[in-house]
Structure 1
Amino acid sequence: MKSITMKWMLAMVVLLTLLIGSMILVNSIFLEDYYIFKTKATFVKEYEELLEEYRGISDRKFLDILRRRNSDNGYKYLVVNEKYDIVLSSAPEFKEGNRLHLSKFQKEFMKKNEKELTDGKVFYQALKRDDSKQYDITLVAQLRKDHFLLIAQPLQQVSENVAIANDFILMIGIGILIIGVIIANYMSRRIVRPILEITEITSKIANLDFSERYHGTLKDEVGILGKSINRISEKLHSTISDLKHTNTDLQKELQLQKRFLASVSHEFKTPVGLIRGYTESLHLGMAKDKEEAQEFTSIILQETDHLNRLISDIIFLMHIDSGIFQMNMKGFDLAISIQGVVNKFSQMPSEKSFELSVETPSKLQVCGDEGRLIQVLENLISNGIRHVSPGGILQLTANQKNNLVKVEIYNSGKQIPKEHLPHLFNAFYSAQDSRSRNNSGTGLGLSIVNSIIQKHRGECGVFNRADGVVFWFTLPTSNDKC
Structure 2
Amino acid sequence: MTCRKKGNYSIKTHIFLIFVGLIGAAFFICWIITRFLLDDYYLYNKEKDMLSAYLYFDIAATKGILTDDRFSVEWQKMCNRYNIDVVILDSDSETILTSIHDEKLIINRLMNYMFSENTDDETKIIRERDHYKMQIITDKNMQGRYLEIWGVLDNGNPILIRSAVENMEDTAKSTSMYLLVMSMAAVTIGAMVSFGFARGISYPVRRLTQLSEDMSNLKFDAKYQDESRICEINELGEHMNKLSEKLEQTICELKMANSNLQEDIQEKEKMDEARRAFLSDVSHELKTPIALIQGYAEGLKEGILDDDESKDYYYDVILDEATKMNEMVQRLLTLNQLEAGFNQVEYSRFDMVELIQNYLQNADVMIKQEKVTVRLRNTEPIYVWADEYMVEKVVANYFTNALHYADGEKIVDIKVEEKGDKAVFSVFNTGEPIPEDALPHIWEKFYKVDKSRSREYGGNGVGLSIVKAVAELMKVNYGATNYDNGVEFWMELDLH
Cα 1:469–1:174 shift into 2, 3 Å: farther
Q: Alpha-carbon deviation of 1:64?
A: 8.6
Q: For residues 187 and 450 of structure 2, what CA distance do their matches in structure 1 show?
A: 78
Give yes or no for the alignment of 1:115 onto 2:120: yes
Q: For residues 354 and 39 of structure 1, what CA distance do their matches in structure 2 show?
A: 95
Q: For residues 358 and 147 of structure 1, what CA distance do their matches in structure 2 show?
A: 93
Cα 1:421–1:294 shift into 2, 3 Å: same
Q: Which one of 405, 428, 439 corresponds to residue 421 of structure 1?
A: 439
Between stretches 39-48 and 421-430, larger displacement belongs to: 39-48
Q: For residues 395 and 434 of structure 1, what CA distance do their matches in structure 2 show?
A: 25
Contact in 2 for aligned 1:428/1:436 (Cα 8 Å): no
Q: Which one of 347, 351, 355 corresponds to residue 337 of structure 1?
A: 355
Q: For residues 68 and 475 of structure 1, what CA distance do their matches in structure 2 show?
A: 80
Give yes or no for the alignment of 1:470 onto 2:488: yes
The root-mean-square deviation of aligned C-alpha atoms, in Å, is 6.1
Q: For residues 274 and 18 of structure 1, what CA distance do their matches in structure 2 show?
A: 100
Contact in 2 for aligned 1:436/1:445 (Cα 8 Å): no
Q: Alpha-carbon deviation of 1:388?
A: 1.0
Q: Alpha-carbon deviation of 1:256?
A: 3.3
Q: Which one of 1, 4, 8 corresponds to residue 14 of structure 2?
A: 8
Q: Alpha-carbon deviation of 1:122?
A: 4.0
Q: Alpha-carbon deviation of 1:411?
A: 0.8
Contact in 2 for aligned 1:424/1:435 (Cα 8 Å): no
Give yes or no for the alignment of 1:410 onto 2:415: no
Q: For residues 240 and 124 of structure 1, what CA distance do their matches in structure 2 show?
A: 87
Q: Which one of 258, 279, 293 corresponds to residue 276 of structure 2?
A: 258
SS of equivalent to 2:323? helix
Which residue in the other structure is 2:132 paired with?
none
Give yes or no for the alignment of 1:267 onto 2:293: no
Q: Which one of 362, 379, 392 corresponds to residue 397 of structure 2?
A: 379
Q: For residues 368 and 422 of structure 2, what CA distance do their matches in structure 1 show?
A: 33
What pairs with 1:452-463 in structure 2 (closer than 5 Å)? Answer: 452-456=470-474, 458-463=476-481
Cα 1:394–1:79 shift into 2, 3 Å: closer
Q: For residues 474 and 276 of structure 2, what CA distance do their matches in structure 1 show?
A: 28
Which residue in the other structure is 2:412 paired with?
394
Q: Alpha-carbon deviation of 1:465?
A: 2.0
What pairs with 1:170-181 in structure 2 (closer than 5 Å)? Answer: none
Cα 1:250–1:323 shift into 2, 3 Å: farther
Contact in 2 for aligned 1:329/1:369 (Cα 8 Å): yes
Q: For residues 405 and 307 of structure 2, what CA distance do their matches in structure 1 show?
A: 36
Q: Alpha-carbon deviation of 1:275?
A: 2.4
Give yes or no for the alignment of 1:444 onto 2:450: no
Q: Alpha-carbon deviation of 1:413?
A: 0.9
TM-score by length of 2: 0.58
Cα 1:116–1:419 shift into 2, 3 Å: same
What pairs with 1:76-475 in structure 2 (closer than 5 Å)? Answer: 77=85, 90=99, 115-116=120-121, 122-123=136-137, 139=146, 251-252=269-270, 254-286=272-304, 292=310, 294-325=312-343, 330-348=348-366, 350=368, 352-367=370-385, 370=388, 373-401=391-419, 403-432=421-450, 439-456=457-474, 458-475=476-493
The residue identity in structure 2 corresponding to 1:424 is: I
Cα 1:308–1:100 shift into 2, 3 Å: closer
Contact in 2 for aligned 1:352/1:390 (Cα 8 Å): no
The residue identity in structure 2 corresponding to 1:311 is: V
Cα 1:473–1:87 shift into 2, 3 Å: closer
Q: For residues 319 and 259 of structure 1, what CA distance do their matches in structure 2 show?
A: 17
Which residue in the other structure is 1:211 paired with?
none
SS of equivalent to 1:428? coil
Cα 1:140–1:68 shift into 2, 3 Å: same
1:207-265 residue CA offsets vs partner (Å, 9 max, x unmatched): 99xxxxx9xxx9xx99xx9xxx9xx99xx999999997897677545433332221011
Q: For residues 87 and 463 of structure 1, what CA distance do their matches in structure 2 show?
A: 88
Q: Alpha-carbon deviation of 1:472?
A: 1.9
Contact in 2 for aligned 1:462/1:471 (Cα 8 Å): yes
Question: Which of structures 1 and 2 has the larger relative contact order (alpha carbons within 8 angstroms, sep 6+)?
Answer: 2
Which residue in the other structure is 1:203 paired with?
none
User: For structure 2, which runs of at least 5 residues remain unmatched after alignment?
Assistant: 89-94, 107-118, 126-134, 152-157, 206-218, 229-233
Q: For residues 340 and 13 of structure 1, what CA distance do their matches in structure 2 show?
A: 87
Which residue in the other structure is 2:77 paired with?
71
Q: Alpha-carbon deviation of 1:355?
A: 1.9
The residue identity in structure 2 corresponding to 1:115 is: D
Q: Alpha-carbon deviation of 1:149?
A: 6.8
Contact in 1 for aligned 2:438/2:449 (Cα 8 Å): yes
TM-score by length of 1: 0.59
Contact in 1 for aligned 2:31/2:180 (Cα 8 Å): no
What is the percentage of aligned positions where both structures have the same residue? 20
Cα 1:67–1:376 shift into 2, 3 Å: closer
Cα 1:310–1:4 shift into 2, 3 Å: farther
Cα 1:88–1:423 shift into 2, 3 Å: closer
Contact in 2 for aligned 1:117/1:141 (Cα 8 Å): no
Q: For residues 7 and 396 of structure 1, what CA distance do their matches in structure 2 show?
A: 87
Q: Alpha-carbon deviation of 1:115?
A: 3.0
Cα 1:294–1:20 shift into 2, 3 Å: closer
Cα 1:468–1:249 shift into 2, 3 Å: farther
SS of equivalent to 1:10? helix
Q: For residues 384 and 414 of structure 1, what CA distance do their matches in structure 2 show?
A: 11
Count of equivalent residues: 400
Which residue in the other structure is 1:196 paired with?
none
Contact in 2 for aligned 1:462/1:470 (Cα 8 Å): yes
SS of equivalent to 1:115? coil
Q: Alpha-carbon deviation of 1:141?
A: 5.7
Contact in 1 for aligned 2:87/2:99 (Cα 8 Å): no
Contact in 2 for aligned 1:396/1:409 (Cα 8 Å): yes
SS of equivalent to 1:265? helix
SS of equivalent to 2:120? helix
User: For structure 1, which runs of at least 5 residues remain unmatched after alignment?
Assistant: 81-85, 103-113, 130-136, 193-205, 209-213
Cα 1:294–1:318 shift into 2, 3 Å: same
1:318-342 residue CA offsets vs partner (Å, 9 max, x unmatched): 3344433356765443333322222
